[in-house]
Structure 1
Amino acid sequence: MAFALQEGEQVLWEGRPEKRIYVMWLLTRVILMSLVICGILAYLSVIACVIYAAAHHMKEPVFILVPSLLIFSAPVVLACALFYYRHLLETFHYTVTNQRCVFEGGIFVRRRRSVPFHKITDVEVNQNIIEQGLGIWSLKVFTPGTGSVGVPGFEKAEIVFCGLLDADKPASIIQDALKKFKATGE
């Protein structure tokens, strides 16, 4: 555990995302990122062809570079994105203590987000359509400032534990701890 426990704090649950989340990230993030990057490369190559044609006084630009650039760059971009998300998954660590919820993870920017129970307003367990097919869940922890932000149904959570096989267990631990905290203040 990379973060230090506070006095009287005990770990109630620890977890990491299931490896099945690779499939979801492949379908939602990696392919989308690859398409965007390849689209940008295609756009830049078209501009380069037009500039080349204008500089060499050609009447029609030669666009043969565009398909070849896409054919050779798409697998490289996809492989880099898959490598990034593989390493990103290995850094994710979720912890629920008797005082707070903690998320740790990231490659380029390492984050540790901690939300004490007195700030938690809601805990949500959900599955999108891809997660349903993979049998994984996401657990979202909301605070007063985050639950009201965004489009209804797409609120931004303070902490998200994604890729869980059993999200009900940490959710019930958090709910029980919240009840205890609200009843006793401890």
Structure 2
Amino acid sequence: MSIEALTQWLAGHYLQVKFIHMSFATLWLWSTSVAYLNYLVPVFRAWQANPDDINHIKKRNWVMERFDEGVILEHIAFPAVLISGLSLLLITGWGPQSYWLVMKLTIVVLVFLPIEFCDYWLSHFGGNKAKIRRTTPSGDGLASARYEQAIHLHWWFLIVTTPVIAIGGMTVLYLAITKPM
């Protein structure tokens, strides 16, 4: 199928593609916010107030490993956002003359893509806490130094990126919906 044929076919489904794009964008933006705010933050605050308490450490580890599993929904939504977004670009023909689109794509490419690559790594690949726990025994029944490093790295990543994602995400939604420029 040629690009022209694909564009023609997609054009007949513009509203459906836009619905898919906006649905996955909001799913991506908000899928982990409830878990982050209601589970991770309180557990990490309790652990930071009592860093040597074994019960707080165990709860922190358990919650972070569950967070790694739960973020899968977000990591399915993000590629769907990218694919549906590219489809919308094909359909509409918007280009660099649309300043709102340039701003939106700049945020996506320069902010969201690097953050998501790091997030995938931290949650599913080299930084996955459950995998580290299973493959790096500590000898004391808790966690290895590598596990602790992964927990701390992921926590700092979340502290730094959560406001960036929230502000950037709302900005992108605003630009996509209102097309102000």
- Same fold by TM-score, threshold 0.5 exceeded? no
> TM-score interval w.r.t. the shorter chain?
under 0.3
Structure-1-length-normalised TM-score = 0.26
Greater fraction of residues in strand:
1
